Amino acid sequence: MSPVSLRRWGWIHKWSSLVCTVFMLLLCLTGLPLIYHHEIGHLLGTDVEAPVMPVDTPRGNIDAVIASAKELYPNKIMMYMSQEADEPAIWNVTLGDHPNDEHYKPIAVDARTTKVITEPAFEGGAFMSTMFRLHVDLFAGLYGKLFLGLMGLLLLVAIVSGAVLYSPFMRKLEFGAVRRERSPRLKWLDMHNLLGIVTLVWAFVVGATGMVNTWADVLLKVWQTTEIAEMLKPYEGSPPPTRMASVHEAIHRAESAEPGMKVGFVAFPGTPFTSSHHYGIYMRGDEAFSSRLYKPVLIDAETGQITDRRELPWYLTALLLSQPLHFGDYGGQWMKFFWAMLDIATIVILVTGLYLWLKRGRHAKAAAAAPAHAQAAPEREIPALVRKEAS
Give whichever of 35-39, 291-295, 340-344, 362-366 has the largest mean pLDDT. 340-344
The predicted pLDDT at position 311 comes to 85
Which segments of 36-125 does DSSP mark as H helices, in order? 37-44, 62-72
Give whichever of 141-145, 229-233, 365-369 has the largest mean pLDDT. 141-145
Q: Are 263 and 283 in contact (CB under 8 A)?
A: yes
Angle formed at CA 182 by CA 176 and CA 184, multiple of 5 degrees: 90
Q: Give residue 56's pLDDT band: very low, low, confident or very high (50, 70, 90).
A: confident
pLDDT of residue 367 exceeding 80 = no
Q: How many CA atoms lie within 13 A of 305 on its CB side?
A: 2
Q: Which of 318, 325, 314, 261 is nearest to 287 (CA)?
A: 261
Entry pTM: 0.79
Answer with the residue of higher pLDDT: 310 or 377: 310
pLDDT of residue 250 exceeding 80 = yes
CA gap 61, 249 in Å, rounded: 9
